[in-house]
């Protein structure tokens, strides 16, 4: 198909904006579905890149459906809690079906939550709930699993404690984990959106390494000797999650501290490890390693004045 149209929900967000760019680079027409009230500067940025904007009422599938017409795939990069991941995505799904769109990519972009039971990770349980609806829908769906965003290793994810020169971990120092950058996830998602024959699940990882391997890489890149710091076993982490959820519930927040801890527990326990990988499915994607991410941080630190 020449110049296929891809519908993108969440295009004003971090991952979504990069998916839009990757789709446009691949020659697709991008129609970004946005809600009423989205900040105008976000819309301008998208339009400048070459996307078209459709402002829709995400409460009504019959109102969203016309904006989906003629598309080859609907891609969601929406983020929030049940209201969006289950309810808004359901409206988007129904709209895609009404409009006769053949394919749907939900906003999963996570570790493989099909490998562990419900109740262990609040945000991933929401995706699981949405999947129950997705499996019953008459549309071809593809989920992209990619571990954790590698970009978070230099900030949000409390694994590498740069100031203390420690790599913090729980459980087994030799358990490998999956890391993929946001840009690589976007590039792969764009290619998958344009591929008419994707399977139900695709698994990617820019890098797979244990904390022991991570310690060696961060030591080499920074030129400073980092050490491992074992905080405890996974049972202890489970107890801490319960305590954190009691003392600082933050149930309405997307990423309260205990949510990040749930994610870490799932990564450290190995069940959500991705295999086999589909990294080679699309030629032309150069996978960014954790060493690349840490080297880029090192360069930007060295460039800082003072």
Ligand X SMILES: NC(=O)c1ccc[n+]([C@@H]2O[C@H](COP(=O)([O-])OP(=O)(O)OC[C@H]3O[C@@H](n4cnc5c(N)ncnc54)[C@H](OP(=O)(O)O)[C@@H]3O)[C@@H](O)[C@H]2O)c1
Kindly give, in sequence order, each residue whose CB lies less than 8 Å from that of residue 58, ignoring residues fewer than 6 positions away. 33, 35, 64, 88, 91, 92
CA distance 152 to 44: 27
Distance of CA 189 to the CA centre of its chain: 10
CB nearer to ligand X: pick between 175 and 180? 180
Answer for which of 58, 130, 145, 226 binds ligand X (CB under 6 A) is: 58
Q: Is the dihedral of CA 264, 228, 221, 297 positive or negative?
A: positive
Q: Is the dihedral of CA 86, 122, 209, 158 positive or negative?
A: positive
In the three-class reduction of DSSP (H, G, I as helix; E, B as strand; rest coil), residue 207 is classed as strand
CA distance 19 to 188: 9
Binding status of residue 12 toward ligand X by CB under 6 A: yes
Binding status of residue 208 toward ligand X by CB under 6 A: no
Q: Which of 119, 121, 126 is nearest to 81 (CA)?
A: 126
Binding status of residue 194 toward ligand X by CB under 6 A: no
Number of other residues whose CB lies within 10 A of the CB of residue 240: 17
Kindly give, in sequence order, each residue whose CB lies less than 8 Å from that of residue 123, ignoring residues fewer than 6 positions away. 81, 85, 110, 254, 255, 259, 262, 263
| Interface size with ligand X, residues (CB under 6 A) | 23
Q: Which stretch binds ligand X (CB under 6 A): 10-18, 128-136, 207-215, 296-304?
A: 10-18
CA distance 73 to 5: 7
Binding status of residue 80 toward ligand X by CB under 6 A: yes
CB of residue 11 to ligand X, shortest distance in Å: 6
Binding status of residue 78 toward ligand X by CB under 6 A: yes
Binding status of residue 38 toward ligand X by CB under 6 A: yes
Under 8 Å between Cβ of 89 and 106? yes
Binding status of residue 110 toward ligand X by CB under 6 A: yes
CB of residue 200 to ligand X, shortest distance in Å: 17
The residue whose Cβ lies closest to ligand X is: 13
Q: Which stretch binds ligand X (CB under 6 A): 76-84, 91-99, 228-236, 287-295?
A: 76-84
Answer for which of 24, 54, 79, 229 binds ligand X (CB under 6 A) is: 79
CA atoms within 13 A on the CB side of 144: 31
CA distance 50 to 168: 43
Q: Which stretch binds ligand X (CB under 6 A): 113-121, 148-156, 242-250, 269-277?
A: 148-156
CB of residue 44 to ligand X, shortest distance in Å: 12
In sequence order, what E strands does the chain have?
5-9, 29-35, 52-56, 73-76, 103-105, 140-141, 143-145, 148-149, 160-161, 166-170, 177-180, 201-203, 207-209, 227-232
CB nearer to ligand X: pick between 132 and 225? 132
Q: Which stretch binds ligand X (CB under 6 A): 21-29, 102-110, 232-240, 242-250?
A: 102-110
Answer for which of 10, 171, 206, 260 binds ligand X (CB under 6 A) is: 10
Answer for which of 20, 72, 77, 261 binds ligand X (CB under 6 A) is: 77
Q: Which stretch binds ligand X (CB under 6 A): 46-54, 80-88, 273-281, 297-305?
A: 80-88
The 232-251 contact track toward ligand X, x by CB under 6 A, reads --------------------
Binding status of residue 107 toward ligand X by CB under 6 A: yes
- The site for ligand X (CB under 6 A) is made up of 10, 12-16, 34-35, 38, 42, 58, 77-80, 84, 88, 107, 109-110, 148-149, 152
């Amino acid at each position: 198909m020449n110049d296929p149209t891809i519908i993108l929900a969440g295009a004003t967000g971090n991952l979504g904006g990069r998916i839009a760019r990757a789709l446009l680079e691949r020659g697709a027409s991008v129609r970004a579905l946005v809600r009423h009230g989205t900040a105008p500067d976000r819309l301008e940025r998208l339009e400048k890149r070459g996307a078209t904007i459709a402002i829709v009422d995400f409460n009504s599938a019959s109102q969203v459906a016309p904006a989906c017409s003629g598309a080859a795939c609907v891609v969601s990069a929406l983020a929030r809690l049940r209201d969006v991941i289950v309810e808004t995505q359901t409206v988007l799904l129904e709209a895609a079906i009404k409009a006769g769109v053949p394919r749907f990519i939900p906003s999963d972009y996570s570790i493989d939550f099909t490998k562990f039971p419900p109740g262990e990770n609040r945000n991933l349980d929401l995706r699981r709930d949405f999947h129950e609806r997705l499996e019953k829908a008459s549309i071809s769906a593809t989920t992209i699993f990619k571990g954790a965003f590698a970009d978070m290793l230099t900030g949000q994810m409390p694994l590498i404690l740069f100031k203390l020169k420690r790599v913090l971990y729980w459980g087994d120092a030799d358990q490998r984990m999956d890391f993929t950058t946001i840009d690589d996830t976007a590039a792969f998602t764009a290619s998958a959106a344009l591929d008419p024959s994707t399977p139900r699940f695709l698994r990617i990882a820019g890098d797979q390494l244990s904390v022991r391997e991570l310690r060696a890489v961060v030591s080499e890149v920074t030129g400073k000797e980092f050490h491992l710091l074992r905080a405890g076993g996974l049972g202890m982490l489970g107890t801490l999650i319960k305590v954190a959820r009691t003392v600082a519930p933050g149930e309405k927040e997307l990423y309260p501290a205990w949510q990040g801890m749930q994610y870490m527990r799932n990564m450290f326990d190995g069940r959500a490890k991705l295999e086999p990988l589909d990294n080679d499915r699309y030629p032309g994607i150069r996978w960014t390693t954790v060493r690349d991410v840490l080297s880029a941080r090192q360069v930007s630190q060295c460039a800082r004045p003072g």
